[in-house]
Structure 1
Amino acid sequence: MVNVDDAYYPHTVALEVTLACNMRCLHCGSYATGQNRKKALSLAEWKKVIDDLKQLKAQFITLSGGEPFMYKQWRELIKYIRRAPEAKASLISNGYSITEDDIIFMKKQGVSHIGLSLDGDQTVHDYIRQTPGSFQKVLETARLCQKHDFSFSVVTSINQINYTIREELLGIILEHKIKNWQVQVVNSFGRAGKNRESMLISHEQYAQLVHDISRWQNEQKGRVRIMPADSIGYCHPLTDDMLEGAEWQGCNAGKFVIGIESNGNVKGCLSLQHDDFKAGNVRERSLIDIWNDDACFAYTRQYDHTRMCGACSTCSDGKRCQAGCMAIAHSVHGTIYENGYCYKTIMEKMRHKRNAA
């Protein structure tokens, strides 16, 4: 857990080692295709990035994509990260092309964890992922992780397509004895933005999802750890309790989180897709210099509370919350100063509506 009183350092890092992917998911925030970005970093350049991250005391380094297993030298990067035992390595994958040998390799190298995407039952998952057979493949990968006692979680992105089968999703998690489940809400970047009307859940659905996650956590305690992502909150007793005691203190992008795209662009978080969030490029300036320049991450380090708008402008927790998850706020509203996907605000509006009736 990050102590927000600490000096800024990249506690959690995501490396988009490739934008190439073997799926065309309808909700992909990166709009990943079969091709990497132009002028992608070489293996040597990635190693320099990792060297700088180690100097900056990075603790968790995740290989992401696209699909990281499409990056041919992913094993070399894992080995290089693990040369410094204080830096933990992990991966996020769609689980489609992972082999048993890959899992054996990851465990042997001390990879701490892998996140596997699961977005529905067979019909819904394969449709969202636009890849027939992907549901069975990710479950097969989960079984291989269990066979080799390799730590993994399942990650579900809730959207209009799978919202109505969320209870069935829990059933799948329990049936397959999956112990860690991360639930998040789709933002409006990439393909999800293009398919916005059929992707984004309503505020009322969002509030119900929060209630469901809280109930699931209580009912399934000891069977599965259910973890809401940063897109779910904020500053309400119910959501604070769901975060396992980690009180929300604003978006950590550029404060304790950093992302590097495969072309070397640096962002406070890989979910911040817009170029406005580009802090620099590692080919033009060292990652250490970029990180140590507060102006590069002014959107969080120098957050201007006076610009908050909508319900956030009058919220008593505005200064602490800073409009919640910045990726959700910006992708939906086009600003980092308002976030309608806030449980506290939604519940207050629903209460006022009932009282006025």
Structure 2
Amino acid sequence: MPLSAVHETLISHGLLPPKTLTVAVTEACNQRCAHCWKSAGTGEPACRIPAGTLCEILGEFRALGGEGVRFTGGEPLCHPQWLELLRFAVAEGFGAVSLQTNGVLLDEGRVAALAGIDFPGLSIQVSLDGATAATHDLVRGEGAFLGVMRGMEQLARGGLISRVSIFCTEMRHNLEEIPALLALAESLGVTSVTTGMLVSCGRAAGGALVRPPEPSQYLGLLQRYRDDASFRELYRRVGRVAALEWGNCSEPRGGACNFLENPYLTARGVLYPCVLCHADPYSVEGVLEKGLAAAIVEGAPIWSELLAVSRRRPDEIADCRECGERLTCAGGCLGRAWGSFGDIMAPDDRCAVRREIARHKAR
């Protein structure tokens, strides 16, 4: 299919071309996390994308103007050709190539292989869900914290710590540890920690073990940010927590979600318009067989409908119409709404938190 036809199709449907492709290269995982979206590591036969097939897809994406690729899973290091895939992405000319890992499999040999890529656009995102073993291991299993700390040590020894960022899922049992997590990250030499609220889907759906934080917990974190100068400076150096950013934001968001800029491809060959929007009615199947360009053309009409829905959310969701934050929130994330409630016209699952933060700001 001519590349010009793909771009013309997107333009005709009012869509922006994709910039960064997130690929779940395998469903296999060495952990069985209680908060996993995709229920990876179940012990069932795990799908993985054949290396040759994925290289063809990455080549298509680069030819379409793709700028970056993120390799995730499952655990991407469980894919037998993970290194070949990273090297191919670099050779294709992507400006940014990211490996998203739980860190446990980062032994001396794998880190040496990563260091051998020698590409300034390579980044490594490590999942760390607490500043202590008790907190992290509660959701990832006994020994997980020790394993990721060993992985971080190997990254430091291999000269890669400057490429590392940390991602933490905000949960009820770990939110109070965010200040300690930022301090731990800085002590390890990591300069970027991003956190995001748990989405109650996958294994986390209806679970008693892991739950989203209470609004009062976020207010406590925001108050500490305002009262504690040392934490405030640490946060400015290292952290990015959505709730704290909301607490300091007053600019309108404007427009609507640009979801197609960050599409997500599963190990089974299903393409979703966004890494956060796993709504099957808005997906395209069979991508491994039909190719990425054909899948994007097929998906354009339904993604155009989804874009229209996104634009209507602030006006059609009753809670949004009456909310003073509707301009800065713009209806929130429809992907999170789908994941939490199975309804793209439901409020964002962080709605109560945003409202409480808005009230706190107004005092």
Q: Considering the TM-score relative to the shorter chain, is it more than 0.5?
A: yes
Is 2:168 the partner of 1:153? no
The answer as to 2:134 corresponding to 1:123 is yes
Deviation at 1:143, TM superposition (A): 2.2
Q: Is the 8 A contact 1:81 1:87 kept in 2?
A: no
Q: Which residue of 161, 175, 197 corresponds with 2:187?
A: 175
SS at match of 1:280: coil
Letter in 1 for 2:233: E
Equivalent residue, structure 2, for 1:291: 296
- Conserved 8 A contact 1:279-1:296: no
Q: 1:81 aligns with which of 77, 80, 89?
A: 89
The one-character-per-residue Cα deviations of 1:69-106 (angstroms, maximum 9, x if unpaired) are 00111111112111122442111000011122222222
Instruction: Please tell me the residue identity of whatever aligns with 1:220.
Output: L
Alpha-carbon RMSD across the aligned residues, in angstroms, is 3.3
Paired residues for 1:89-238 under 5 Å: 89-109=97-117, 110=119, 112-120=122-130, 121-130=132-141, 132-150=142-160, 151-195=163-207, 198-209=210-221, 218-220=232-234, 224-228=237-241, 232=243, 238=248
Contact 1:188–1:196 (CA<8 Å) still a contact in 2?
A: no
1:153/1:179 contact within 8 Å kept: yes
Asked if 1:66 is matched to 2:42, the reply is no
Name the structure 2 match of 1:252: 258
Unmatched segments (≥5 aa) in structure 2: 1-10
Contact 1:29 1:271 in 2 (8 A): no
Aligned equivalent of 1:14: 22
> CA 1:225–1:233 in 2, change beyond 3 Å: closer, same or farther?
closer
Q: Relative to 1, partners in 2 of residues 1:209 and 1:187: Cα closer, same or farther, differing over 3 Å?
A: farther
- Relative to structure 1, the CA distance from residue 23 to residue 207 in structure 2 (aligned partners, 3 Å threshold; closer, same or farther) is same
CA 1:175/1:86 → structure 2, altered by over 3 Å: closer, same or farther? closer
Gaps of 5+ in 1: none
- TM-score by length of structure 1 reads 0.82
CA distance in structure 2 between the aligned counterparts of 1:98 and 1:165, rounded to whole angstroms: 24
Q: 1:182 to 1:57 in 2, by over 3 A?
A: same
Percent identity between matched residues is 20
Partner of 2:275: 270
Give the C-alpha shift of residue 8 in structure 1.
Answer: 1.1
Q: What CA distance in whole angstroms lies between the structure 2 residues aligned with 1:139 and 1:40?
A: 27
Matched letter for residue 31 of structure 1: S
Greater mean deviation of Cα atoms: 209-218 or 26-35: 209-218
Contact 2:69 2:94 in 1 (8 A): no
Which whole-Å deviations, capped at 9, do the CAs of 1:235-276 have from their partners, x for residues lacking one? x571469xxxx957543322x111100011001223333423
1:196: Cα distance to partner? Answer: 5.9
Once the two structures are TM-superposed, the CA of residue 233 in structure 1 deviates from its matched residue by 8.0
Shift of residue 125, structure 1, vs aligned partner: 0.9
1:35/1:81 CA distance change after superposition, 3 Å: farther
Q: Tell me, in whole angstroms, the C-alpha distance in 1 between the residues paired with 2:183 and 2:235.
A: 14
Change (3 A) 1:187 1:340: closer
Tell me, yes or no, if the aligned pair for 2:29 and 2:40 is still in contact at 8 Å: yes
User: How far apart are residue 50 of structure 1 and its match?
Assistant: 0.5
Q: Which residue of 2 aligns with 1:26?
A: 34
Structure with the higher helix share, 1 or 2? 2
- Alpha-carbon shift at residue 46 of structure 1 (Å): 0.8
1:304–1:160 CA distance, 2 compared to 1 (3 A): closer
Matched AA of 1:225: V
Q: Partner of 2:8 in structure 1?
A: none
Shift of 1:139: 1.5
1:55 lines up with 2:66 in the alignment? no
Shift of 1:299: 5.4
Matched letter for residue 96 of structure 2? K
Counterpart of 2:334? 326
Deviation at 1:218, TM superposition (A): 3.4
